[in-house]
């Protein structure tokens, strides 16, 4: 059986890669820096900072890896808010370009690929940010509220987008989404937290 190490195993890409490797018969070892980084497709979870060479030497001396996938979050190095702001800026640009894209144009397919990259880059960081803002014994509650509010807000957002799309056209709907995203980005950037 081959063994793979995934750094950043709790992120969007890491969790999907772990699932894929596990289904292909690999033994999956995850490397994370916080105790909330576990998923069902990881056989062994090792908690360490990827920047700490002693921890990495210890791990590599215990287990022989056939493959290493380095997907550790850049947000650990540069900070959650900076990384989220960059990702959400890409989100704003996506909506602005979608407002101008012709549905018959090849550009729309490139934009959806860009959107997929944005989603993959920010989803794990958002969850890590929630974990950073809460005490360890309150993380379950925090994630519950985060997912409840996110899910609850999807309906009005989709309803408003659909109404604008049907009533005023594609450009107005996507411009409204871009403006809403800019407002969210401004709120995020003005958010101050030492742990982020």
Cβ atoms < 10 Å from Cβ of 20: 12
Strand partners, 27: 3
pTM metric for this prediction: 0.62
> Which pLDDT score, from 0 to 100, does residue 161 have?
95
Summarize pLDDT for 18-69 with one digit per residue, the tens. 888 999 999 999 887 766 556 788 888 888 777 778 888 888 888 999 998 8
Most confident region among 73-77, 121-125, 131-135, 158-162 by mean pLDDT: 158-162
* Least confidently predicted of 55-59, 73-77, 148-152: 73-77
Rounded to an integer, what distance in angstroms lies between the CA atom of residue 46 and that of residue 110? 37
Q: 3-70 architecture in CATH?
A: 3-Layer(aba) Sandwich (3.40)
Strand partners, 32: 47
Q: For the CA atoms of 10, 157, 147, 82, what is the dihedral angle to 10 degrees?
A: 50
Between 10 and 184, where is the model more confident? Answer: 184
Q: How confident is the model at residue 132 (pLDDT cuts 50, 70, 90)?
A: confident
Helix pair 80-100, 107-133: axis angle to 10 deg: 150
The residue extents of the domains of the chain are: 3-70, 75-190
Strand partners, 28: 4
Task: Say whether pLDDT at 116 is over 70.
Answer: yes
Tokens encoding 161: 């987008």
Task: Say whether pLDDT at 173 is over 90.
Answer: yes
Task: Say whether pLDDT at 77 is over 80.
Answer: no
For the chain, how many residues are written? Answer: 196
Task: Say whether pLDDT at 160 is over 80.
Answer: yes
Rounded to an integer, what distance in angstroms lies between the CA atom of residue 82 and that of residue 87? 9
């Amino acid at each position: 059986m081959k063994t793979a190490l995934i750094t950043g195993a709790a992120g969007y890409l890491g969790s999907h890669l772990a699932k894929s490797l596990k289904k292909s018969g690999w033994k999956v070892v995850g490397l994370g820096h916080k105790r909330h980084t576990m998923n069902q497709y990881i056989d062994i979870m090792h908690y360490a900072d990827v920047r700490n060479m002693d921890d990495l030497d210890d791990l590599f001396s215990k287990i022989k890896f056939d493959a290493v996938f380095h997907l550790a979050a850049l947000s650990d190095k540069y900070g959650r808010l900076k990384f989220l702001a960059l990702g959400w800026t890409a989100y704003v640009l996506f909506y602005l370009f979608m407002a101008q894209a012709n549905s018959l144009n090849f550009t729309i397919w490139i934009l959806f690929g860009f959107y997929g990259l944005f989603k993959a880059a920010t989803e794990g960081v958002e969850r890590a940010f929630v974990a950073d803002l809460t005490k360890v014994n309150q993380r379950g509650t925090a994630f519950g509220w985060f997912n409840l509010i996110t899910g609850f807000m999807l309906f009005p957002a989709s309803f408003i987008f659909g109404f604008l799309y049907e009533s005023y056209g594609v450009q107005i709907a996507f411009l409204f989404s871009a403006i809403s995203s800019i407002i969210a980005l401004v709120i995020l950037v003005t958010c101050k937290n030492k742990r982020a």
